[in-house]
Amino acid sequence: MAVNREPPRGFLSSGVRVVRALLAVYLSVVVLMMIFEHHFIFFPGKYDGGAAWSPTGLNYRDVYFKAADGTKLHGWYLPHESPRAVVLFAHGNAGDITNRVEMAQQLQKRGLTVFLFDYRGYGRSGGRPNEEGILADARAARAKLAELSGVGSGEIVLMGRSLGGGVMVDLAAKDGARALILESTFTSLPDVAAIHYPWLPVRMLMRSRLDSLSKIQKYDGPLLQSHGDRDNLIPIELGRRLYDSIDRPDGPDKVFFTVEGGGHNSVQPNKFYRRLDEFIDALP
């Protein structure tokens, strides 16, 4: 006697409805993440008039300047009487310049003139952050630093951490730099997003790119790059891939420093600053 093993039509219909519902939910999530992409990238700290905006023990002055599109920007200028180098620093995607005071002190006491600035939408800077905007902000900050320090734009050392690394790679690739210093940075934003959201087609859909991997090929100056080997936000493999893409051997002008046990937000150890001193001393 033959047995009918076909599932009931109602069962098939229910399965199709479930698949359609799941697909609709997935597409909705994709659309929402596309719409709110900037909210997944930028986490700006805002000026609140608190004590952090008047740091003690830091030789600095407030500087206001404008980007090419007229956006009003703010930064701190930390001069040195006889600087070994003039450094423009671009911070990561969260917080503002008040979170970088300890790092600024480390640089200043090593004989460096430093300019910290906030991207649009961060700290006391106006506007809202986006890729095109923060790249324009860095360009304006470098021009302002050249004016304040009296050195040419091409003689400024560009230093960026995390997101700021992508910003500084863009500036160095387009206009050159005396040197490029990168901390805990990435090959591109889609590469980072693909690690954290492997179930989303981020490489295809993300509008924000900061494609440092392709841009850094146009930079041929000195490079010091550091990365923590326990970085869970931007794995060290991405930093290594960016560094290794430069086709020249390691040497005084191309250095990779591994921060042993370092996470993404770990403070740089003294060993790094000693290596930084050696790198600065070797600059032409």
The answer to the question of residue 5 being in a domain is: no
Does 26 have pLDDT greater than 80?
no
The answer to the question of residue 176 being in a domain is: yes
Please state, as a whole number, how many other Cβ atoms lie within 10 Å of the Cβ of residue 227: 26
User: Amino acid identity, residue 1?
Assistant: M
**Position with higher pLDDT, 5 vs 176:** 176
The answer to the question of residue 4 being in a domain is: no
Domain count, the chain: 1
What is the percent of the chain where pLDDT is above 70?
91
Predicted pLDDT at 23 = 73
Domain with 65 in it: 11-281
Beta strand spans in 21-71 (E): 43-44, 61-66
The answer to the question of residue 173 being in a domain is: yes
Predicted pLDDT at 16 = 73
Distance CA 93, CA 83 (A): 28
Predicted pLDDT at 261 = 98
Distance CA 146, CA 143 (A): 5
Going by pLDDT thresholds of 50, 70 and 90, the confidence category of residue 17 is confident
* Average pLDDT across the chain, whole number: 93
Does 44 have pLDDT greater than 60?
yes
Is-contact 122 96, C-beta < 8 A?
yes
Lowest mean pLDDT among 3-17, 109-123, 147-161, 239-253: 3-17
Average pLDDT over every residue of 52-78: 96
Does 202 have pLDDT greater than 90?
no
Does 180 have pLDDT greater than 70?
yes
**CATH code (residue 254):** 3.40.50.1820
Predicted pLDDT at 77 = 98
Token pair belonging to 19: 């698949």
The answer to the question of residue 1 being in a domain is: no
The answer to the question of residue 24 being in a domain is: yes
The answer to the question of residue 218 being in a domain is: yes
Predicted pLDDT at 199 = 85
Does 20 have pLDDT greater than 90?
no
Q: Kindly report the pTM of this predicted structure.
A: 0.91
Is-contact 163 93, C-beta < 8 A?
yes
Does 21 have pLDDT greater than 90?
no
Average pLDDT over every residue of 191-204: 91
As beta bridge partners, residue 90 has: 117, 160
